[in-house]
Structure 1
Amino acid sequence: MPDSNKMFLDMFSDRERIAHYADGPRRFTPGLDAVHRMTMLLLAEHAPADAHVLVLGAGGGLELKALAQMQAGWRFTGVDPAGPMLDLARETMGEDADRAELIEGYIDAAPAGPFDAATCLLTLHFLDRDERVRTLSEMHRRMKPGAPLVVVHSSFPQDEPARGRWLARYAAYAVASGADPAQTEQARAAVAASLALLTPEQDEACLRDAGFVEVEQFYAAFTWRGWVSRA
């Protein structure tokens, strides 16, 4: 993660601030539980029943728990730069935690694989374009030929006034879902000021530049987009 986004890594390393982490993604990301279910279905189109799945940005463990409960034969390698978030992932997974190897670091810390499938949910928007393509390329290098990848992150028009309008909707949805208005405004301001956000067209290009093919969008909700592709 670039230095400009160190504030986000610091936030995810604060054990008190992440104590109620599970509430946040569901309030800010429309249909998150459905996203996890769709992710499983899209991976299962090509991943075997005993798949080894690479999960980049695994901290918190929400997708790890969901995927483990829906696919009893899958095992996971999860990577995240925030140690406390990985601790939370172990707690979140509960009895399924022994099916996941959790590694503190960025993509370069991930084993060589090759993996049968991979995910990167609510993570790539923390990276600028060059680092995003490099990270995706390193994921591609660790995947079996034809293995499926699912990514979901913030991606929406970046020209004004559309950018500001969509960020306002992002915040409004969170407040309507029960988030604290003051904290939500802080989050909106931080996203607007600190993240190197891309348009959906630019995000699709990143996937292709990293070597992925059959890139298809499967999810769109306010400021969020999701794609499935194959290595």
Structure 2
Amino acid sequence: MDLLSPFTDPAMVAHYAESTPQKVPGFADLQRMAMLLLAEHAPGPADILVLGAGGGLELKAFADAQPRWRLVGVDPSAAMLDLARDVLDGRMTQIRLVHGVIDDAPAGPFDGAACLLTLHFLPQAERLRTLRELRRRMAPGAPLVVAHHSAPKGSDIRRWLTRSIAFANRDGGDFAQASATAATMAQHLPVLPAEEDETLLAEAGFSDIALFYAGFSFRGWVATA
């Protein structure tokens, strides 16, 4: 399965900005928490890298809250970057968009970085490589904020994915259909147990790794480069 294919589908891209906040519990609050965790280290003018920035939602949230930040958004989907340009109308003076993956990101050093709802698409080895490349582009002591699907320790990820899908449906909870969808997702998404996610962050060179967000199958961490 080509994991990029949904992000090139015109119908999916057209509804992304509307549908994504419905799928992630506390989506707006997650973005605000990510911004605050970055701003804690970079309260003034700062260079911030956003990996997986297609759609522009977190870039918009960051730019509105921190007008002195210089933001670089990287994404492999040209269609999603086109959507980001629409979402970011009037804010592009502080934002640079880059078509590609982490290897195409500027060398930095960046004062902070975020990777939201992205790493669960990457197999374990590629996820570790991506985190290492993120770390290499960050200034010492800079914060990294990540959030993505992750299984709580010792639990069945399909059960947690089912709960997330039922949450997104907003139809009273059709758990049979949600369970079938979750089984398909679990086959194609390389979702890791939370402890493995934390281990990868440490292996990539990050320290002070701390969980700051949890919502059904979604987990978020902040770590220090």
Shared topology, TM-score over 0.5?
yes
Does residue 191 of structure 1 match 2:189? Answer: no
* Within-5 A mapping of 1:71-90: 71-90=66-85
Amino acid at match of 2:24: T
* C-alpha spacing 1:157/1:111, structure 2 compared with 1 (3 Å): same
Q: Name whichever of 105-114 and 169-178 sits farther off.
A: 169-178
Q: Name whichever of 183-192 and 52-61 sits farther off.
A: 183-192
Q: Gaps spanning 5+ residues in structure 1: where? A: none
Give yes or no for contact 2:52–2:74 (8 Å, CA) kept in 1. Answer: yes
Amino acid at match of 1:191: M
Equivalent position to 1:27, from 15, 22, 46 = 22
Tell me how far apart the structure 2 counterparts of residues 54 and 15 of structure 1 sit (CA, whole Å): 26
Shift of 1:159: 5.9
Instruction: Give 2:130's aligned residue.
Output: 135
Tell me how far apart the structure 1 counterparts of residues 172 and 81 of structure 2 sit (CA, whole Å): 26
Q: List per-residue Cα deviations over 1:89-135 (Å, max 9, x = no partner).
A: 11111111221111111100001011111000000000111111100
Instruction: Give 1:210's aligned residue.
Output: 204
Partner secondary structure for residue 186 of structure 2: helix
Q: Name whichever of 216-225 and 45-54 sits farther off.
A: 45-54
Q: List per-residue Cα deviations over 1:68-96 (Å, max 9, x = no partner).
A: 00011011111100001001111111111
RMSD: 2.2
Identity in percent: 52
Equivalent position to 1:222, from 212, 216, 225 = 216
Instruction: Give 1:43's aligned residue.
Output: 38
Q: List per-residue Cα deviations over 1:40-92 (Å, max 9, x = no partner).
A: 11001111411110000000000000000001101111110000100111111
Tell me how far apart the structure 2 counterparts of residues 183 and 68 of structure 1 sit (CA, whole Å): 38
Tell me how far apart the structure 2 counterparts of residues 38 and 190 of structure 1 sit (CA, whole Å): 31
Instruction: Give 2:101's aligned residue.
Output: 106
Partner secondary structure for residue 226 of structure 1: strand
Give yes or no for contact 1:147–1:230 (8 Å, CA) kept in 2. Answer: yes
Q: Gaps spanning 5+ residues in structure 2: where? A: none
* C-alpha spacing 1:181/1:169, structure 2 compared with 1 (3 Å): closer
TM-score for the superposition, normalised by structure 1: 0.91
Amino acid at match of 2:221: W
Shift of 1:190: 3.7
Q: List per-residue Cα deviations over 1:155-203 (Å, max 9, x = no partner).
A: 014867x333212211111112799999967753442110111011110
Shift of 1:24: 2.1
Give yes or no for contact 2:162–2:178 (8 Å, CA) kept in 1. Answer: no
Does residue 166 of structure 1 match 2:146? Answer: no
Partner secondary structure for residue 42 of structure 2: coil
Instruction: Give 1:200's aligned residue.
Output: 194
Task: Give aligned pairs, total.
Answer: 225
Q: List per-residue Cα deviations over 1:199-218 (Å, max 9, x = no partner).
A: 11110111000000110100
Tell me how far apart the structure 2 counterparts of residues 155 and 164 of structure 1 sit (CA, whole Å): 11
